[in-house]
Amino acid sequence: MTENKEPERSIVEELSWINCDIPGLRDCDGTYDTYNDIPPLANPVECDLNEVESPTACYVIEGKEYASTYQVGDITMSSYYNDQQDCVSWFRGSDGRVYYNYDGGYRFHLCARSKAEFDTRIQIEANLWFKLSHSSGSRQDITNLKDRLTPQEWLYVEYYLAKQEAAELLAAEKAAAAAELKAAESAAVVSST
């Protein structure tokens, strides 16, 4: 007789964030994507996520009868926030941190060092999604919306705009170097003939 045994649940300690895109600032390959480079938060505070409109219809599951609890090593994971289609579930750990579980897998990924950090990031990103979703996504359109953003939302926007600018500068430098190399190769071919 073969016994079906569930794989052991584990924790991925490397901090990563999972969420949807932020129009004009951060792309997403599907409904959700993972990000290892996210803006720092100035003053994270806990909030009632029931009052935050989610772009992907997420909801607070904590305290509901169908909420799940898992023991992962020394940490008890309790359901906290959930995607409407169960693509992603977020759990509060007994260690005070927040973890996500993607597609019902057995790995819990660290995504916030505290509930306040998680709540604040979810709130900022949801607000930005709705505020930016009707813009063209251009730097100018996003900058023109500054007066509609909270200071913390604007810091988030500035972080991503700075990353975009750095990427554009690097691409321009690479293009210039490639053009110089091509010109030098062409000159060498001409002089050798």
Q: Is residue 120 part of a domain?
A: yes
Q: Is residue 32 part of a domain?
A: yes
Q: Is residue 179 part of a domain?
A: no
Q: Is residue 151 part of a domain?
A: yes
pLDDT at position 3: 58
pLDDT at position 134: 85
Which residue is it, tokens 């906290």? 80
Q: Is residue 183 part of a domain?
A: no
pLDDT at position 175: 63
Confidence of residue 4 (pLDDT cuts 50, 70, 90): low
Which range, of 10-14, 74-78, 186-190, averages the lowest pLDDT?
Answer: 186-190
- Over the chain, what is the mean pLDDT? 88
* Helix-helix angle 151-192:115-132, to 10 degrees: 70
Query: Could you report the per-residue pLDDT of 102-137, keeping only the tens digit for each?
Result: 867 899 999 999 999 999 999 999 999 999 998 887
Q: Is residue 190 part of a domain?
A: no
pLDDT at position 114: 98
The DSSP string of 100-138 is: EEETT-SEEEEEESSHHHHHHHHHHHHHHHHHHTTS---
More confident of the two residues 74 and 86? 74
d(CA 156, CA 42): 10
pLDDT at position 164: 78
Q: Is the dihedral of CA 55, 60, 61, 65 positive or negative?
A: negative
d(CA 125, CA 115): 15
pLDDT at position 187: 67
Q: With DSSP H G I counted as helix, E B as strand and the rest as coil, what are the percentages for the chain, rounded to 5?
A: 35, 20, 40
Q: Is residue 180 part of a domain?
A: no
Above 60 in pLDDT, residue 80?
yes
Above 90 in pLDDT, residue 1?
no
Query: Could you report the per-residue pLDDT of 144-162, keeping only the tens digit for each?
Result: 999 999 999 999 999 999 9
For residues 81 and 125, is the Cβ–Cβ distance under 8 A?
no
d(CA 53, CA 116): 17
Domain residues for the domain of 101 are 10-167
d(CA 16, CA 150): 24
Number of domains composing the chain: 1
Helices (H), the chain: 115-132, 139-144, 151-192
pLDDT at position 135: 83
Report the share of the chain in percent with pLDDT over 70: 83
Above 90 in pLDDT, residue 193?
no
Strand-pair partners of 101: 89
Q: Is residue 175 part of a domain?
A: no
Q: What 3-state DSSP class applies to 33? A: strand
